[in-house]
């Protein structure tokens, strides 16, 4: 008995403290189990899980939700130890996912699980993109009533320089805590001549840093923040369906687009079932759930669907810059380069000038 208690405690402590787990029992007679570990909020992913179960009523699904960095640490440790972690791993931190695959943590996927994907949304036969998500700016509509909304990074920088209204009122990711936040910031540094000036402006306005998208959106909606920068567009698109207090801008100078990356771990217990789930998500039926219910869109037809959803001409495909799944992403994860980048970030945004996650 003591040995069983010890093993149970060991398994519990192996999970990150913030991990949350949800169990969806099989609609029919349970015969198979699918374990998914993901950085996507369960509430966002639930429609896809239930749609999959409707066609596979014998499948029970356990969905474990973590932050991107927690997920990466957890999966990396399990891979190194050769132990089971999940049947499917899905994360918005594409660079971390690519490194895990590069480290030999994934199984090869069959052709049908990769069918139709553009080159930028897949790597080798192991990593696939499941979504089409822009990095956007969001703003408080009440504040900007009668005021010009910045449509590009150039206009945002000018706005932050011209007004003191944004001191403590602009939010973005804490790139030390958020894997996707770091990915966006590093891509900005590569893509834009405005990066240095933008970070300087964020620091001068004492930008507030957050781990998670929902925290930024909630504060922009109620006016505690006036602008959110580099926010996941999928979450913002979901929110504006029921909340008119928030507006969205796809930056006209360029709009980063990424796909949540998925792979089947080498230690998966139900690899075929995980492959079937991926195939379903990329099928016409799965893409309909992505578009109509999840607002995440698909790499296969996401640009066209986004233009249809916004219907205001702001979704200009010429401005889209997909974050391609290539080994180039690993550059930002090099320890020396990452530390230099974070040092520059901390120098511009010292911790004394921010209130991460505060109300």
* Residue 219 in this model has a pLDDT that exceeds 80: yes
- 43 vs 87, more confident: 87
pLDDT at 13 over 70: no
Number of alpha carbons in the 13 Å side-chain half-sphere of residue 263: 32
Answer whether residue 299 shows pLDDT above 50: yes
Domains of the chain, residue spans: 2-131+259-307, 133-257+326-353
Mean of pLDDT over the chain = 88
Give phi and psi for 123, each to the nearest 5.
Answer: -145, 130
Task: State residue 356's pLDDT score.
Answer: 41
Percent of the chain with pLDDT over 70: 91
What CATH topology corresponds to 2-131+259-307? D-Maltodextrin-Binding Protein; domain 2 (3.40.190)
Q: Residue 186: helix, strand or coil by DSSP? A: helix
Question: Is it true that 2-131+259-307 and 133-257+326-353 share their CATH fold?
Answer: yes
Average pLDDT over residues 87-103: 94
Residue 281 has pLDDT above 60, yes or no: yes
pTM confidence score? 0.82
Q: What is the pLDDT of residue 314?
A: 67
Lowest mean pLDDT among 80-94, 113-127, 177-191, 199-213: 177-191
Specify the range with the lowest mean pLDDT, choosing from 4-8, 23-27, 126-130, 262-266.
Answer: 4-8
pLDDT at site 18? 62
Mean pLDDT of 92-104: 93
Integer CA distances (angstroms), 246 to 10, 90, 215, in order = 44, 28, 13
What is the arithmetic mean of pLDDT over 19-31? 91
CATH superfamily of 133-257+326-353: Periplasmic binding protein-like II (3.40.190.10)
> Which stretch, 66-70, 145-149, 186-190, has highest mean pLDDT?
145-149
CA geometry: angle 88, 92, 94, nearest 5 deg: 90
| pLDDT at residue 228 in the model | 97
- Residue 319's pLDDT is what? 85
Q: Max CA-CA distance within the chain?
A: 69
Per-residue model confidence (pLDDT) at position 300: 92
What confidence category does residue 234 fall into, taking pLDDT thresholds of 50, 70 and 90?
confident
Please tell me the number of Cα atoms within 13 Å of 291 on its side-chain side. 20
Inter-residue contact 266 to 84 (CB < 8 Å): no
pLDDT at position 92 is 87
pLDDT confidence of residue 174? 92
């Amino acid at each position: 008995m003591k040995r069983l208690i010890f093993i149970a405690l060991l398994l519990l402590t192996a999970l990150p403290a913030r991990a949350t787990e949800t169990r969806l029992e099989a609609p029919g007679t349970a015969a198979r189990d699918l374990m998914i570990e993901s950085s996507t909020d369960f509430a966002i992913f639930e429609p896809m899980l239930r749609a999959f179960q409707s066609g596979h009523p014998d499948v029970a699904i356990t969905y474990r939700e973590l932050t991107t960095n927690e997920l990466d640490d957890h999966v990396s440790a399990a891979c190194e130890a050769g132990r089971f972690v999940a049947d499917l791993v899905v994360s918005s931190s594409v660079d971390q996912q690519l490194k895990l695959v590069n480290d030999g943590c994934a199984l090869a996927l069959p052709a049908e699980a990769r069918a139709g994907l553009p080159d930028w949304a897949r790597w080798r036969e192991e990593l696939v993109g499941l979504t089409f998500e822009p990095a956007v700016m969001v703003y408080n509509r009440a504040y900007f009533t009668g005021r010009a909304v910045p449509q590009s990074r150039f206009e945002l920088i000018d706005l932050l320089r011209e007004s003191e209204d944004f001191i403590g009122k602009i939010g973005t990711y804490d790139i030390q805590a958020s894997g996707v936040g770091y990915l966006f910031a590093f891509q900005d540094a590569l893509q834009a001549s405005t990066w240095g000036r933008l970070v300087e402006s964020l620091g001068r306005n004492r930008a507030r840093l957050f781990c998670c998208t929902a925290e930024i959106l909630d504060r922009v909606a109620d006016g505690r923040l006036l602008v959110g920068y580099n926010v996941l567009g999928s979450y913002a698109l979901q929110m504006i369906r029921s909340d008119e207090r928030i507006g969205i801008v796809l930056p006209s100078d360029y709009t980063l687009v990424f796909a949540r990356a998925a792979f089947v771990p080498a230690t998966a217990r139900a690899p075929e079932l995980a492959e079937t789930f991926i195939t379903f998500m990329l099928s016409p039926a799965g893409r309909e759930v992505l578009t109509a219910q999840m607002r995440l869109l698909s790499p296969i037809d996401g640009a066209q669907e986004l233009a249809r959803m916004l219907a205001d001409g702001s979704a200009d495909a010429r401005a889209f810059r997909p974050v391609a799944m290539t080994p180039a992403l690993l550059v930002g994860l090099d320890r020396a380069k990452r530390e230099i980048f974070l040092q520059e970030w901390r120098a511009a945004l010292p911790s004394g000038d921010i209130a991460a996650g505060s109300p």
